[in-house]
Amino acid sequence: MTNRNSIGVFDSGYGGLTILKEIVRVLPEYDYIYLGDNARTPYGTRSFEVVYRYTLEAVRKLFGMGCPLVILACNTASAKALRTIQQVDLPRMEATRRVLGVIRPSVEALASFTRNGHVGILATKGTVASESYPLEIEKLYGKEAFRITQVACPMWVPLVENNELADEGAVYFVRKYIAELMTADPQIDTVILGCTHYPLLRSLILRYLPAHVKLVEQGHIVADSLKDYLLRHPEMKERLSTEGNRHYLTTEKTELFERMAGLFMGEELRAEQIEI
Ligand code: DGL
């Protein structure tokens, strides 16, 4: 049974668990429904229209389960669908519910990490092509504040989704994309992992990233930003149920999801397969 008034957390697959884990650490009292669209992952190589449609379907599903607030724990969905959902769909269908993404909070936190303003973004093809990070950064800090270099890492999500985190293929593709990034701008001092799947490759990434470069993961940033959001929006905070339950949904078979997600969340968990 799911709790009414849970916080919905959505991703194309397992990646959003890197966000959920931190959110639960910071805000353990709330109820959460995690939805992974594992049957249709990856989103990063899909068109704008398809990512928007899939994301809207997931948001509707979570609203239908009672969630007043949904976090798109996916950069690709945040880049390609969030704005349209917030501006066009929400006012029409669910004016009092809210959908938040992961890009804006990451950009807000950026200034506290970089010293020289040279920033690298590693993300999916879709997020890179959307230019969401450079645009959001420009909106917040102006055109000249940072030098942004983006590199798409299309092989990283399949490595994570297939639990191939430590084999030779993973080593090859982690080295390759990091070398591309650091060659494009050797002065980079800060790298944002702009895809929620990527923290699962963290130890390999750290092995090949120059030691002085700061690696920014989004989990704690999004968690702190959600905490702050709820403080600023008591009307939303009061609507949320607080029994500390977590419910896991996947669009694929549950066995693999339970094993992978359980390992990642560090707890034994049960999932339910649903259609969206
Ligand atoms: N985890 C997602 C992101 O943050 C998407 C990965 C994918 O499905 O390609 O971009």
pLDDT for res 95: 86
Strands 246-250 and 271-273: parallel
Residue 9 near ligand 1, beta carbon < 6 Å:
no
Respond yes or no: is residue 153 known to be catalytic. no
- Residue of 9, 195, 221, 261 with catalytic role: 195
Q: Where are the strands (E) in the chain, listed by range? A: 7-11, 32-36, 69-72, 98-100, 118-123, 147-152, 190-193, 214-216, 246-250, 271-273
The ligand 1 atom at the shortest distance from the C-alpha of residue 15 is: 1
Strand partners, 216: 192
Q: Is the peptide bond before 154 cis (omega within 30 degrees of 0)?
A: no
Walk along the chain (276 residues) and give the pLDDT tens digit of each residue. Answer: 556 899 999 999 999 999 999 999 999 999 999 999 999 999 999 999 999 999 999 999 999 999 999 999 999 999 999 999 999 999 998 889 999 999 999 999 999 999 999 999 999 999 999 999 999 999 999 999 999 999 999 999 999 888 888 889 999 999 999 999 999 999 999 999 999 999 999 999 999 999 999 999 999 999 999 999 999 999 999 999 999 999 999 999 999 999 989 877 888 999 999 999
pLDDT for res 3: 62
Residues 195/173, Cβ–Cβ less than 8 Å: no
pLDDT for res 167: 87
Q: Could you give the CA distance from residue 66 to residue 97 in angstroms, rounded to a whole number?
A: 10
pLDDT for res 162: 86
Q: How far is the CA of 235 from the centre of ligand 1 (A)?
A: 31
Q: Could you give the CA distance from residue 158 to residue 121 in angstroms, rounded to a whole number?
A: 19
Q: How far is the CA of 197 from the centre of ligand 1 (A)?
A: 6
Q: How far is the CA of 231 from the centre of ligand 1 (A)?
A: 28
Residue 198 near ligand 1, beta carbon < 6 Å:
no
Respond yes or no: is residue 195 known to be catalytic. yes
Residue 15 near ligand 1, beta carbon < 6 Å:
yes
Residue 218 near ligand 1, beta carbon < 6 Å:
no
Residues 133/168, Cβ–Cβ less than 8 Å: no
- Residue of 70, 73, 74, 201 with catalytic role: 74
pLDDT for res 2: 59
Residues 75/51, Cβ–Cβ less than 8 Å: no
